Every structure is written in structure tokens, then in C-alpha cells.
Amino acid sequence: MKLEFWFEFASTYSYLTAMRLPDEAAKRGIEVTWRPFLLGPIFAAQGLETTPFLVYPMKGRYLLRDMDRRARALGLEFYLPDTFPQNGLLAARVATAALPDPAGMRFCQNVYQAEFAHGQTIADPDVVARCAKDAGLDAEILDRAQTDPVKQALRATTEEALSRGIFGAPSFTVGDELFWGDDRLEDAFDWAAKHG
Amino acid sequence: MKLEFWFEFASTYSYLTAMRLPDEAAKRGIEVTWRPFLLGPIFAAQGLETTPFLVYPMKGRYLLRDMDRRARALGLEFYLPDTFPQNGLLAARVATAALPDPAGMRFCQNVYQAEFAHGQTIADPDVVARCAKDAGLDAEILDRAQTDPVKQALRATTEEALSRGIFGAPSFTVGDELFWGDDRLEDAFDWAAKHG
């Protein structure tokens, strides 16, 4: 069965998944659909004004340490941008417009690296444009990303996430089965392999 | 370096750890200190009135499903008691009085099984007394658990947890390094082995 990867560009742990997912999925022969969505409306539906990193400072401090350890274990740099969480709306629209083309996947990885390896501001159109260019996407992708059909598609994905019980990122679905967190990727793979 | 296992009897994921920890630690030759504490004051310090399971229903529904999957994978039964979260104060006092005797560890496992495998009420002194008896503890342990030195010791452990940045259960510490969640037990073991 296909695995769906639900991610938001502001999400730290989604960065870990985005970087390791293509290789891990290929190793296991599991087909993955990348589903960019927005956490803002999902948090709002739970009465959260922002990321739990900020709502619960004790937990937030720990999560940064945990992120740092896990990024290091994967050979990834991790740097929390000065502005956190970042506004990933433009990046999510570009990803929506570009996927499922493999260049769209590379774009997502570029955005995560700009944000969490280099501490750049992904709300900046210049940063997003460079991530798109480096991924091999056309120059007009940013304009296309701001058209109504793309905006509407991203809203629909976010509504679908909510309706499928998704409350955080990264999440994985295999049919109706939901997994939450980069540390559940292996469980999700096992589920997909067993119920494929 | 020694690993400290911080747990609360109301905590679902602590059940998973309590049941698998002795074998896993023995396999790796890592010495473990069991530290029962109370989550109530820890949640209150974060502005949480109760467990996140109840504060965030979408997340709570998912966590139950995740617990069920992970318990099954470990060969454990999992049943959420009708009253949740349960009041684990008496059990935590008995554990405080009985540990570090190995019978104290068995008592903790018995309490978790009564609660999450059999759905019993661990606030009930009869349930706690049977868990103590089955663990080989003296009949007078319940009385001793209600004396001032034991009550004070449990309060001190809870204050120590808070001062060490612990915000949930299960948690593991290796010196100043903190790990949170049953799914970080292996990371904690690795840290203990590397910095031992």
C-alpha cells in the first residue's frame, strides 16, 4: 500500500523525514506521496495558538536538544532559525504546484536545508526562488504557486489532513492508519509492507 | 554511566518501558535506577490541568492507537482503564518505600499490568496490596508507604524531576542528558554506553 507523507515547512522533525525518506523508501520499495499542508489551521482546531515548542517551554527546550541529537545521528546539520516557527505558506504553495514531479521533492529538501541547516528565512521569496531553481524547477513556478487553483489545492490538502485525524507533522498515513513523528517512519513502512 | 528511569503510574507509555526495561538493560549491561515521581505537579508547572491525552483529544485518540500498536509489538496487552488518568499516589509511595529492592521493581510491573492489561483501579488499596504481595513485599509496606519520610521522599523526587527539566513520563536521564518517551529508551542506552 502507498504511504502518504504529510509535512509542514515550519516543522523541525519534518526536516529529518524529508531528508531521509527518499532513500529509506527506495530501500524498502515503498511508494510515497508527498503531501505538503499547513499546521496553522490544524493547531487552531486544537486550541493551540502556535507550535507546542513555544506553548510548553520545558518541552520546547527538550525537543530542540532531541532534534539536535537526532539530526547529528543522521549526519544532518540543525540550526534553529532566529524566527521560529517560520511562515512556510509560499514554500507550501510552490511544493503543491511542483509535486509529484521529482523536482518538487528536491525543492522540499532544499527548503528544509535552507531553513534548518542554514537558518534562512523561507518566507523570503528570494530564498524560495533559489530553492526552486536549484531543484531544476522553471522560473515561473513562483507565479504559478500564487494562482487560485494552487491556493485552493493547498487548502483542500489541509482540510483533508484535519479530516483524517492529523494533528502534527510529520505524519504518515497508510490507508486509514495514522503515524505521527519522524520516529514512527519505520512503523509506517512496516505497516505499508504488511498491508500492501 | 547509570541510567535513571523516571516514571508515573498513570502514564501509559511508562507501562511499556517498565515491562521491557529490566531485560533490555541486562542485555546491554546498563545499571538502572527506578525513580517513581508524580506528573500532577509537573503538568501544573506547565499550565496543563491534566494529561495531554485529554487536553488535546485529536492527539489523545492517536496516542491510544499508537499505544495499542506498540504494546502489541511487544507482546503486551493494552486496555485503557475506564477512569483515566488514574490516581497513582499510593502506588508511587509504595514504590518509593520498596525500591531499590528488586521486589520494588516487580511491584511496579504488577501495578502497570493491573492498570493497563487488566483495567483495574490502582487507587484502590486492595489492588495495590495484591500487587505488593505478588511481588514478595511485606504486608506492612502499605503502612510504611504512608509515613512522613516516604511521603517526603516522593515529593523530593518530583521536585528533582522538575528541576532536571522533566516534563513527561517516561523520561530517562544519564547525568544531565534527558530523554523523553519509551521510544527514546534505545537512544538513552546508547548515550549511557558511550558516556559510561
Q: Compute the average pLDDT of residues A154-180.
A: 97
The answer to whether residue B151 neighbours chain A at the CB level (below 8 Å) is no
pLDDT, greater one: B53 or A179:
A179
Contact A184 B66 (CB under 8 A): yes
Q: What is the mean pLDDT of chain B?
A: 95
The x, y and z cell numbers of residue B131, run together, are: 500487587
Q: Which residues contact B194 (CB under 8 A, 6 or more apart)?
A: none
- Contacting A residues, span 93-112, partner chain B, CB-CB under 8 Å: none
- Can you tell me whether residue A14 is helix, strand or coil? helix
Which of A42, A171, A187 has the highest number of chain B CBs within 10 A, making it the mutation to test binding with B?
A: A187
Considering only CB atoms, B58 lies closest to which of A69, A167, A184, namely: A167
CA distances from B23 to A118, A189, B20, B30, B114 (A): 42, 27, 6, 10, 20
Q: What is the pLDDT of residue B49?
A: 83
Show residues of chain B in contact with A167, CB under 8 Å: 56, 58-59, 62
Q: Is pLDDT at B196 greater than 90 in this prediction?
A: no
ipTM: 0.92
Q: What pLDDT was estimated at residue A56? A: 85
Using a CB cutoff of 8 Å and minimum separation of 24, what contacts does B119-128 make?
B119/B79, B119/B80, B119/B81, B119/B82, B120/B81, B121/B81, B121/B83, B121/B86, B122/B9, B122/B86, B122/B87, B122/B88, B122/B90, B122/B91, B123/B86, B123/B87, B123/B88, B123/B89, B123/B90, B125/B90, B128/B90, B128/B91, B128/B94
Confidence of residue B168 (pLDDT cuts 50, 70, 90): very high
- In this predicted structure, the answer to whether residue A49 has a pLDDT above a threshold of 90 is no
Q: Cα(A182)–Cα(A170) distance, rounded to whole angstroms?
A: 6
User: For residues A41 and B50, which has the higher predicted lDDT (pLDDT)?
Assistant: A41
pLDDT at residue A1 in the model? 72
What pLDDT is recorded for position B1? 72
- Cβ atoms of residues A181 and B13 within 8 Å: no
Residue B59 has what pLDDT? 92
| Count of domains forming chain B | 1
CATH number of the domain that residue B108 is part of: 3.40.30.10
Tell whether the model's pLDDT for residue A128 goes beyond 80: yes
Host domain of residue A147: 3-194
Closest CB to B165: pick one of A61, A178, A183. Answer: A61
Q: What is the DSSP letter of B133?
A: H
